[in-house]
Chains A and B, each alone.
Chain A
Amino acid sequence: MSFLDIHDLGARYGSLRVLDGIDLSVEQGEVVSLIGPSGSGKSTLLKVITGLMKPDRGRVTLAGAAVDYSNRKSLKAARDRLAIVFQQYNLFGNMTVLRNVTVAPTTIKKRNRRQVEEKARELLDRVGLGDKLHVYPDQLSGGQQQRVAIARALCLEPEILLLDEVTSALDPERVSEVLDTIRLLAKDNIAMLIVSHEMSFVRDVSHRIAFMADGRVQEIGSPEQIFDNPQTDRTRDFVGRISRVGH
């Protein structure tokens, strides 16, 4: 069985169905990207996996254990294994950069404070923010905040990292600094599920790409298959359109 296994997953906002039977898997150390038009359910899928939104059907299995989203204990066990980075960074405005990164491992996971801080410093160094430990999020640029958010996620030592359009709120010149950070992670053998509109990045970093539309995975395959030899008309149409606008 795959590390993350999703079967027939469904979810809706009120009467609007946004996920309509998702089947998807991510292996250990594998990078899978989700692409597709806006409103196709990509971000919602990440919300459901992390428990921010409840599914109304289907099954999510993480590291062999089925996640019961109405059971706090089961949800906590799942969240211990995963971490998510949001489009809007979602840093805690009242905490310094260092505290943002260490708060969860020290206060929730009760890990040794000194070791966690050491790890946090190392991670922040790695994302190029070793000199910003004691500043507050509102003193950083968007790209810097997003890199703090990535360091915060990594400090939890997740087995799988979910990235939700992490560059779409950034100025164009900040995009590459964040993508370069993620590229480095991909080499570290950490499993990732990425939602992104940066097609060249997705193509470069992913082992597999899933094309989503209407709340379903329409096609999944290698980057070459999706971009050069799509098997369905929907994928061909989408890839054709985005390549025309210069992605």
Chain B
Amino acid sequence: MHYTLHFGQVTPEIPYLLWGALISLELSVMAFAGGMVIGMVGAIMRLRGGRWLSRLARWYVTFFTNTPQLVQIYFIFFALPEVGILLDPFPAVLLGMTLNAGGYLTEILRAGLASVHQQELDAAETLGMSHLQTLRYVILPHIFKVVMPAMTNQYILMTLGTSMAAIFGVEELTGRAFNINSTTFRSIEIFLLTGGIYVLVTLAATSLLALVGRYAFRARVRIL
């Protein structure tokens, strides 16, 4: 293969790509935050919701973890307008990613919640803690310690998954790489660079989450 790499045409576009990475990050952080809210409610419904709420949460998880995320976003983007709900690309992708993350995080947090020791709950109760105090001082720190590695993985998968937004015209990192590619045709250089930026973004996010996990929750996670 006789190919000479020419990064000269691509390097001026680095700031443009980095701004795109910021949009990817924005998308993943917002979808993760929304997914956490759904996940917490879902996990509580699964374990403490009684027969019907638990079943409802299980159906939700089954649906969103057994269909491709791309199909889910396509559905939101192209099918919802038929019933009068027209979303711009960014909110459509965000909604799709949030609902999908909600499914996975429900399962992750359910496992964390199920691992809270009854003995610690008994101790909290006899020490006089209210439900809210027990949640704050005992349950949540325990859950986060246990689920931190799984949650970090989920977050990385979501960050990488934001590249799907490019298909819908969101100009995040991959979308911007597509744009540069269509004018310069330096595909190898562009996608090498784009891949490198994804690595940096996910490594930064993993390290940050590992630091939080290790120092706030004593989670056994490796920092790089």
Contact = CB atoms under 8 A, between A and B. Distances in A.
A86 B217 CA distance: 25
Given A92-B138, A93-B142, A94-B145, A79 B128 contact: yes
B122 interface: yes
Contacts of B137: 92, 95, 103, 107
B128 A88 contact: no
Nearest to A104: B127
Interface residues of B, number: 19
Contacts of B122: 52, 86, 90
B120 A108 contact: no
Interface string A124-157: 0000000000001000000000000000100010
B125 interface: yes
Given A88-B119, A103-B137, A80 B217 contact: no
A108 B218 CA distance: 24
A90 B128 contact: no
A83 B217 CA distance: 27
Contacts of B129: 104, 107-108
Contacts of A52: 122, 125-126
B126 A50 contact: yes
A94 B218 contact: yes
Interface string A81-113: 001101011111111000000011001110000
Q: Of A79, A83, A92, A94, which is in contact with the most chain B CB atoms at under 10 Å from its CB?
A: A94
Nearest to A105: B127
A80 B127 CA distance: 8
Contacts of B218: 94, 136
Contacts of B126: 50-52, 79, 83-84
Nearest to A156: B127
B141 interface: yes
B123 A109 contact: no
A76 interface: yes
A108 B125 contact: no
A135 to B, nearest CB: 12
Nearest to A108: B128
A231 to B, nearest CB: 34
Nearest to B125: A52
A129 B71 CA distance: 59
A94 B119 contact: no
A92 B120 contact: yes
A90 B133 contact: no
A108 B127 contact: yes
Q: Of B145, B217, B218, which is in contact with the most chain A CB atoms at under 10 Å from its CB?
A: B218
Given A107-B133, A108-B133, A136-B218, A94 B127 contact: no
Contact of A94 (B123, B128, B142): B142
A42 B55 CA distance: 39
B135 to A, nearest CB: 13
B120 A93 contact: yes
Contacts of A93: 117, 120, 142, 145
A109 B128 contact: yes
Nearest to A77: B128
A54 to B, nearest CB: 13
Given A103-B137, A107-B137, A136-B218, A90 B125 contact: no
9 contacts: A52-B122, A52-B125, A84-B126, A86-B119, A90-B117, A90-B123, A92-B124, A93-B117, A107-B137
Given A52-B125, A156-B127, 15 more contacts: A50-B126, A52-B122, A79-B126, A83-B127, A86-B119, A86-B122, A92-B124, A92-B137, A92-B138, A94-B142, A104-B127, A104-B129, A107-B129, A108-B128, A136-B218
Interface of B: 117, 119-120, 122-129, 133, 137-138, 141-142, 145, 217-218
